Amino acid sequence: MDYPHQNMPVFQVSELHHSFYSKKKEETKVLNGIDFQVFENEFVAIVGPSGCGKSTILNLMSGLIKPTKGSIRLRDREISSVHSSIGYIAQSDTLLPWRTVRRNVEVGLEIRGVEKEKRREIAMELIKKAELEGFEDAYPHQLSGGMRKRVDIIKVLAVEPEIIFMDEPFASLDVFTREILQKYVLKIWSENQRTIVFITHDLTEAITLADRIFILSQRPAKLKSTHHIDLKRPRDPEELKFNPRFLQLYEGIWKDLKSEVEMQVKK
């Protein structure tokens, strides 16, 4: 239970380099040779200083952009375009403002050609589970930030991706809402085992959620270190932060991260 990932890797990232080029062909080196694996049903968190290339890694892994050099294998096949088994919850709000909550949750199913009755049924079930009942006909502008984020998550869950990427999903929310949503994510993950790659600035969040944490260095980013989080599951985000083992882990990782984040500590 503590190590649900002693099986085959889902992702095999090796020697990953990436640079962006401006119009004047100036190079911005973002990733500088990154190697890691993500295992089946594992919960991985990636932590690193702002602007070091965390979102870039997810964009590469999801097939949105192609790496300058290196390889990303998803179950032994090189990623070459967007992949339907990956659900991506982006850093920014991506709800369609002209659709109601229910129709937003249905959008992925619609794209896949699922018929209307079935779509509605799946959407309503997810809305209920996310405690958004009564808001299915509301438009996004009528929801709070935390509710919008929940819709953003169930919108991705609706198509049942095996792998979920989350890019700082709770960065803009207050501590309490964040804890509630962390619980929600843990619930989703444990109910229906999936592989999750979760990006965050917030070390507490990373330790609370993940099996392993990857620490990235400043840009151009390298993998600085990997930490195993041996806290027992199920975990409760509210209580965990007072747990002695948690504090011990926190301190260790904090020291490791400190040298990198000197200037951009968030918490």
Where does this chain bind ligand ATP (CB under 6 A)? 20, 28, 30, 48, 50-56, 91, 219
Q: State which residue, 35 or 121, has the beta carbon closest to ligand ATP.
A: 35
- Tell me the C-alpha to C-alpha distance, in Å, between residue 246 and each of 110, 182, 209, 228, 229: 43, 16, 12, 12, 9
Q: Considering CB distances under 5 to 8 angstroms, the limit depending on partner class, which of another protein, ligand ATP, Mg ion, none binds residue 142?
A: another protein
Question: Which residues, other chains included, contact 94 with Cβ-Cβ below 8 Å and sequence gap of 6+?
Answer: 152
- Minimum distance of Mg ion from residue 48's CB (angstroms): 10
Which residues inside 53-82 make contact with another protein, applying CB under 8 A? 62, 64, 82
List the one residue from 4, 37, 110, 190 that touches another protein (CB under 8 A). 110
Q: State which residue, 5 or 219, has the beta carbon closest to ligand ATP.
A: 219
Question: Which residues, other chains included, contact 121 with Cβ-Cβ below 8 Å and sequence gap of 6+?
Answer: none
- Asked whether position 88 contacts another protein by CB under 8 A, the answer is yes
Q: 96-99 contacts: CB < 8 A, separation 24 or more?
A: 96/140, 97/139, 97/140, 97/141, 98/139, 99/139, 99/140
Pick the piece of the chain touching another protein (CB under 8 A) from 25-33, 42-50, 87-95, 179-187.
87-95
- Minimum distance of Mg ion from residue 205's CB (angstroms): 15
Residue 165 · residue 86 · CB < 8 Å = yes
Pairwise CA distance, residues 179 & 183, whole Å = 6
Beta pairing, strands 212-216 & 195-200: unpaired
- Asked whether position 94 contacts another protein by CB under 8 A, the answer is yes
Pairwise CA distance, residues 178 & 198, whole Å = 14
Residue 182 · residue 205 · CB < 8 Å = yes
Q: Considering CB distances under 5 to 8 angstroms, the limit depending on partner class, which of another protein, ligand ATP, Mg ion, none binds residue 20?
A: ligand ATP
- Asked whether position 139 contacts another protein by CB under 8 A, the answer is yes
Q: Which residues pair with 13 in a beta bridge?
A: 36, 72
Q: State which residue, 97 or 234, has the beta carbon closest to another protein.
A: 97
- Asked whether position 55 contacts Mg ion by CB under 5 A, the answer is yes
DSSP per-residue string spanning 52-66 = SSHHHHHHHHTTSS-
List the one residue from 14, 50, 84, 226 that touches another protein (CB under 8 A). 84
Q: Considering CB distances under 5 to 8 angstroms, the limit depending on partner class, which of Mg ion, another protein, ligand ATP, none binds residue 51?
A: ligand ATP
- Minimum distance of ligand ATP from residue 55's CB (angstroms): 3
Q: Strand, helix or coil at 112?
A: coil
- Tell me the C-alpha to C-alpha distance, in Å, between residue 181 and each of 69, 169, 184: 36, 9, 5
Q: Considering CB distances under 5 to 8 angstroms, the limit depending on partner class, which of ligand ATP, another protein, Mg ion, none binds residue 265?
A: none
Where do contacts with another protein occur on this chain (CB under 8 A)?
A: 62, 64, 82, 84, 86, 88, 90, 92-100, 107-108, 110-112, 135, 138-139, 141-142, 159
